[in-house]
Amino acid sequence: MTGSALTADHVRGLVGEGFPGERKLVVPRPVQRAALSTPGTCELLVTDCGYFPNAGRHLRARTRPIDQAVVLICVKGRGWCETPEGRFDVATGQVAVLPPDTPHAYGSDEGDPWTIWWLHVAGRSVPGLVSLVGSTPAAPVRVPVDVPGTALLAAEVVARVERDTTASSLLAASGAAWHLLTVLASSRSVRDASESVVEQAAEHLRRNTSVRTSVTELASTAGLSASHFGVLFRRRFGVSVLTYQTQLRMSRARELLATTQHSIAQVGAQCGYDDSWYFSRQFRKAHGMSPSAFRKQQDQ
């Protein structure tokens, strides 16, 4: 990041009439106004979207804020974005989410121009979703765990709006954009090597719900102290390692209780609980009912 000031307003640098192979779609303003008063799209509406391949000399700057969030998914090359807090590099595999009502600028790297999927979203839920993603004027760039999946969702948005701007197409585009932002929010971004290690540890827990793994064991595998690992894990997932492991085990228990005829003891054992009484107590604590009552409820 380097500090600099926004100097241009509503400037877009393009070669000729655009970029070869570009797709650029704008929902007409009267249609936008109607959609923002309609259930569903009033929460989140895609107002503009597109795809710019190998976008040399691409530049856009707004010193007058807009009420839309701007999402830029870089799938190739490099670029940058700028807010009043400074200038930020955007590399392949990164996503810039510029909050609404914030002056901003963005553009392509001169030597290695980016290829981006992009969209603008407005609506009542947009500020909250951007906050969940973790994007702020001081930290607008995210590194999603699943970049291809994020790009595919953006492509779905473009395809829906490209089809037409009927209420059904706009609602479908809104759904894909909502999914994109919630994926960014739920996966957050891997900012450094330590967070990558935490991701790997969480994947180990997801794949081994029947095995009890201590924080000390996970931390040792990651080459970290148990306390430091615990802090990183909670920062990443919002809960402690033990709580996360219990959530995974309870999810597996619900599945087994609903889809098999295994005994309660067998279900507990498959979820890593050798003591069936302790398993039942943990299940009741999580669900407000015993495993037997839960199974009976599923049969009704």
pLDDT digits (tens, 9 = 90+) for 68-116: 999 999 999 999 999 999 999 999 999 999 999 999 999 999 999 999 9
Q: Indicate left, alpha or beta for 45 from its phi (over 0: left) and psi (-120 to 50: alpha).
A: beta
What are the C-alpha distances in Å from 76 to residues 17, 61, 73, 150, 189? 22, 21, 9, 14, 18
Record: fold of 11-187: Jelly Rolls (2.60.120)
- pLDDT tens for 6-46 read 444 444 444 445 678 889 999 999 999 999 999 999 999 99
User: Which part of the chain has CATH 2.60.120.280?
Assistant: 11-187
Q: What is the pLDDT of residue 195?
A: 65
Phi, psi of 97 (to 5 degrees): -120, 110
Q: What is the pLDDT of residue 21?
A: 85
Q: What is the pLDDT of residue 30?
A: 95
**Mean local confidence (pLDDT), 211-230:** 87
Q: What is the pLDDT of residue 232?
A: 86
Task: Count other C-beta atoms under 10 Å from residue 64's C-beta.
Answer: 7
Q: What is the pLDDT of residue 236?
A: 79
- Percent share of the chain, pLDDT over 70: 91
For the 193-298 domain, the top CATH level (class) is mainly alpha
**Mean local confidence (pLDDT), 158-184:** 95
Q: Count the residues in the chain.
A: 300
Closest CA to 26 of 15, 16, 12, 40: 12
Q: What is the pLDDT of residue 193?
A: 53
Closest CA to 148 of 120, 109, 187: 187
Closest CA to 78 of 108, 50, 51: 108
Taking the whole predicted model, whether its pTM rises above 0.75 is answered as: no
Q: What is the pLDDT of residue 103?
A: 96
Q: What is the pLDDT of residue 17?
A: 55
User: Which part of the chain has CATH 1.10.10.60?
Assistant: 193-298
